[in-house]
Amino acid sequence: MTRIALASTNGQTMTGECPETAPMSIRGMTVSYGQKPVVFSVDATFPEGSMTAIIGPNGAGKSTLLKASLGILRPLSGIVTVFGRPLNSQRHRIAYVPQRASVDWDFPTTVLDVVLMGLSRELGLLRLVRPRHRARALDCLTRVGMAEFADRQIGQLSGGQQQRVFLARALAQGADLYLLDEPFAGVDAATEKAIIAVLKTLRAEGKTVVSVHHDLSTVGDYFDRVLILNTSKIAEGPVADAFTEANLQAAYGGRLATAQVAGIPAAG
Amino acid sequence: MLWQALTLQLGYNATLVAIGAILLGFAAGVTGTFLFLRRRALVSDAISHATLPGVGLAFIVMVALGGDGRNLAGLLAGSAVTAALGLLAVQWLTRRTRLAEDSAIGAVLSVFFGFGVVLLTVIQTMESGRQAGLDSLLLGSTAGMLRSDALLIAVGGALTLILTLILRRPMIMVAFDEDYAAALGLNIRQVDLATMGLVMAVTVVGLKVVGLILIVALLIIPPVTARFWTDRTERVWLLSGVIGGLSGFVGAAISASAPALPTGPIIVLTGFSVFAASLFLAPNRGVLAAVIRHVAFQRRVHVRQGLLALAHGQPIYERYTVRLLHRAGLSRPDGVATEAGRARAAKALLDEKRWEILRAMPDHEAAAALYDGMRPIETVVTRDQLAEIDTHLAAPQEVPA
């Protein structure tokens, strides 16, 4: 079904990482709603053990790129490989954390049941949920500091708590690649700390983390790589090289307040 | 007679019919839960109305082939064909055109049903069509049902139920979080198609018992009713099945004792009684509980505001507030605080001041966000944190230079 895409338009070369076996490699991806591309001809590679922030202004196609790279949206063109293999053969190694606003929180389900969804591949259609499955789900809730809420209906949680439950569900999958869509949007400071601690632990274990991110002031603290996007790719690479004022200016244009750029290296 | 029917003492046939109706109701309740959770309950209405032309066509074909046009298995098979066509038409219209699903449902439902009515009218004019009794498939009738028909319904209901239970996990995943399910590799369209296929199976199996006009109620009322009582998915579908089964049973029993009554409306009315009772009486989501909660909360707000006004020495303007304070022994009828009222007012003021300090502390953003004027501060901070807050309270309030 996937069509072979032409080489990307900007012809950037890879910076030493091996795209053939990287946890995720995207080539020539274009996604459009109707006749208007939201993501145009984007190449990206997320190297093993890295933590990448996807940044860019509103409507730049950040979430769209993430969804299309997972096959949630069907791209017009583009090839995605995961650990050097086709996406569909590697789904068990990927955990996705969608935006919190994408689900109905009045849904009749409990925190623990949501986390158990992360084990659905293992449970299949017929296997019963056993105490060891519950124990694993509870363990994931403990890692995000939510164990005491296991039996709550999900609608009773605050926004930050809901986000942590989503992260726990991803952890339950035991994946190697974690893709998160704005995990820090509208959460309290304690949740932000808890989430970033978990993500850094994952990186320390050699896992790969990719996250759509909004807050430019925390990019340097939280991530080691950035992908700057505004429909097409503006820059990609280690924070020190790619997260520059010039690149941000190119992506955000007039929308970038000078205050946001303070402390960002001017070189590049 | 009704009592005998309800206690399954009307003989083998009636018992078999009752069992069939229970299984069908249970299957409809469970299957309907997943449709309800996916927020596509109305699609079932298009499916059920689209069965009618199939019934008519099947009758005509069976008669043309020299068989008995009233053979239930044949009629159901025909209804399944046009129901599937109707379902695919709704899917296609929604996906390929700019029509929203509700418009597509309306269009498909009316066209298919209209075509079906035309066919039934044609059949009425056929010689073999006079006593066809096809109109019993509109509103359902279990009276005088053949043993083989009852068996067919029981087996069909049981099979649908089993398939639904097998597929419940993917259906729940897709209903709750479509994107996540897709990222796991589930094919959303296939899961949706399976859900609709199961709904179609229930509809077809239920034609004889409930009738095509009202089967949608048996798919929707039980899960909506069950949702009032529980917040857990597996309890919703289980309870929904029980409510559906009960409705089916009562419908069949009453129909057995009063054969002139169509079964469908009785089943629906039974389900509706349980729904109405749940709507008002359910402990958390029920209307009555909501009203009681609201009134109690409003009273707490008034008392709190009244106490704060007393603490600040301000007059209380609302008579309701004074009445509440007086009733609680916190003030005299004229709004002057009693001993107990002064103590409570002082506590309320202390609470407010503590909150004020907490909300100014950047480290306690999460706790501070819980401020709503009502929540006792002791429920959001630890005793140590409270002590820390109180150190600020004790600090001399000098005017900064």
Report pLDDT for A5.
41
pLDDT at A7: 41
Contact between chains at A109 and B176 (C-beta distance less than 8 A): yes
Contact between B49 and B113 under an 8 Å Cβ cutoff? The reply is yes
CB-side neighbour CA atoms (13 Å) of B61: 13
- Alpha-carbon distance A53 to B89, whole Å? 43
Q: Is the CB of A108 less than 8 angstroms away from the CB of B231?
A: yes
* B256 and B112 together in one domain: yes
Residues in B touching A72 (Cβ below 8 Å): 179, 182-183
For the ranges A5-9, A261-265, B46-50, B230-234, which has the lowest average pLDDT?
A5-9
For residue B227, tell me if it sits in a domain. yes
Q: How many domains does chain B have?
A: 2
Tell me the range of A107-111, B134-138, B372-376 where mean pLDDT is highest: A107-111
> Is the domain of B244 the same as that of B349?
no
What's the distance, Cα to Cα, between the start and end of chain B in Å? 93
Give the pLDDT score at A262.
Answer: 53
Exposure on the CB side of residue A201, measured as CA atoms within 13 A: 9
- Answer yes or no: are the C-beta atoms of A212 and A63 closer than 8 Å: yes
Domain segments of chain A as ranges = 24-255
**Lowest mean pLDDT segment, chosen from A88-92, B57-61, B171-175, B368-372:** B368-372
pLDDT digits (tens, 9 = 90+) for B165-218: 999 999 999 999 999 999 999 999 999 999 999 999 999 999 999 999 999 999
- Amino acid A10: pLDDT: 43
What pLDDT shows up at residue A260?
56
> Considering only CB atoms, which chain B residues are within 8 Å of A109?
172, 176, 231-233
Residue B279 covered by a domain: no
Are both B359 and B298 inside the same structural domain? yes
Give the CA-trace dihedral at B194, B199, B205, B208, to 10 degrees: -160
Range with lowest mean pLDDT among A118-132, B1-15, B78-92: B1-15
Q: Do B183 and A98 touch (CB under 8 A)?
A: yes
ipTM for the assembly:
0.90
> Would you state the pLDDT for residue A70?
96
Q: What is the pLDDT of residue A41?
A: 96
The contacts of residue B342 (CB under 8 Å, 6+ apart) are B310
Superfamily of domain A24-255: P-loop containing nucleotide triphosphate hydrolases (3.40.50.300)
Question: How much is the average pLDDT of B17-22?
Answer: 90
> Which one is predicted more confidently, A265 or B155?
B155
DSSP for A3-30?
PPPPPPTT-PPP-S--TTTSSEEEEEEE
Of B202, B227, B262, which residue sits at a domain end? B262
Note the pLDDT of residue A13: 42
pLDDT at A171: 97
State the average pLDDT for chain B: 90
Contact B72, B152 (CB under 8 A): yes
Do B241 and B350 sit in the same domain of this protein?
no
Check CB contact under 8 Å for B175 and A169.
no
Contacts of B387-394 with C-beta under 8 Å, sequence gap 24+, read B389/B354, B389/B357, B389/B358, B389/B361, B390/B354, B392/B357, B393/B350, B393/B353, B393/B354, B393/B357
Domain end among B262, B277, B300:
B262
B99 within some domain: yes
pLDDT tens profile B307-334: 999 998 888 888 999 999 999 999 988 8
Q: How far apart are CA B189 and CA A256, in angstroms?
A: 41
Query: What is the average pLDDT across B359-371?
Result: 79
In a domain, residue B91? The reply is yes
- For the residues B68-81, what does the mean pLDDT come to? 92
User: How high is the pLDDT of residue A2?
Assistant: 42
How far apart CA B217 and CA B271 sit, in angstroms, is 8
Q: Please indicate if any CB of chain A lies within 8 Å of the CB of B227.
A: yes
Query: Are B317 and B235 members of one domain?
Result: no
Tell which of B246, B262, B278 closes a domain. Answer: B262
Q: Cα A27 to chain center, whole Å?
A: 17
Range(s) of the domain holding residue B256: 2-262
Residue B282 counted as domain residue: no
Q: Do A88 and B185 touch (CB under 8 A)?
A: yes
Instruction: Report the pLDDT value the prediction gives residue A15, as an integer from 0 to 100.
Output: 44
Task: List the pLDDT tens digit at each of the 268 positions of chain A.
Answer: 444 444 444 444 444 455 678 999 999 999 998 889 999 999 999 999 999 999 999 999 999 999 999 999 999 999 999 999 999 999 999 999 999 988 999 999 999 999 999 999 999 998 999 999 999 999 999 999 999 999 999 999 999 999 999 999 999 999 999 999 999 998 888 899 999 999 999 999 999 999 999 999 999 999 999 999 999 999 999 999 999 999 999 999 876 665 455 556 554 3
User: Rounded to the nearest 5°, which phi and psi values hold at B154?
Assistant: -60, -45
Is residue B355 included in any domain, yes or no?
yes
Write down the pLDDT at residue B147: 87
> B225 to chain A: which residues are within 8 Å by CB?
none
Q: Which of A103, A108, A179 sits opposite B232 (nearest CB)?
A: A108
Find, in chain B, the residue whose alpha carbon is nearest to that of A156: B231
Residue B272 resides in a domain: no
Confidence (pLDDT) at A22:
94
Alpha-carbon gap, residue B389 to A128, rounded angstroms: 49
- State which residue of chain B sits closest to A120, comparing Cα positions: B169
User: CB of A47 within 8 A of CB of A221?
Assistant: no
Give the residue among A181, A136, A150 at the shortest CA–CA distance from A163. A181
> Chain B interface, mutation test: which of A82, A90, A113, A210, most B Cβ atoms within 10 Å?
A113
For residue B9, what is the domain's CATH number? 1.10.3470.10
Are residues B22 and B86 part of one domain?
yes
Residues B240 and B302 grouped into a single domain: no
User: Which residues 15-44 on chain A approach chain B with CB closer than 8 angstroms?
Assistant: none
B170-184, B340-354, B383-397: which has the highest mean pLDDT? B170-184
Is B38's pLDDT higher than 50? yes
- Residue B67, pLDDT > 50, answer yes
Q: Are residues B306 and B235 in the same domain?
A: no
Residue B67 domain flag: yes
Least confident interval from A162-176, B220-234, B347-361: B347-361
pLDDT at B353 over 60: yes
Count CB-CB contacts under 10 A for residue B286. 17
Claim to verify: residue B293 and residue B257 sit in the same structural domain: no
